[in-house]
Amino acid sequence: MKKYSVFAIAREAMRGHKGWEEQWTSPEPKKEYDVIIVGAGGHGLATAYYLASEHGITN
């Protein structure tokens, strides 16, 4: 991923953010998931940790 200075960020903000290059691609979703956790706050992270440590769910 390319690093940006505060000046480059400010310049792009003034130009309507039209000059940014794509930094990553959106992956294709899997056909199915064991669990979907919505949110990455404290509760989401605790849920992910619990499911991984107690139930072996890692995908």
Domain ranges of the chain: 30-59
Q: What is the pLDDT of residue 48?
A: 93
Question: Averaged over 1-23, what is the pLDDT?
Answer: 82
12/58 Cα distance (integer angstroms): 38
Q: Where in the chain does DSSP place strands (E)?
A: none
Banded pLDDT at 1 (limits 50, 70, 90): low
pLDDT-derived band at 35, boundaries 50, 70, 90: very high
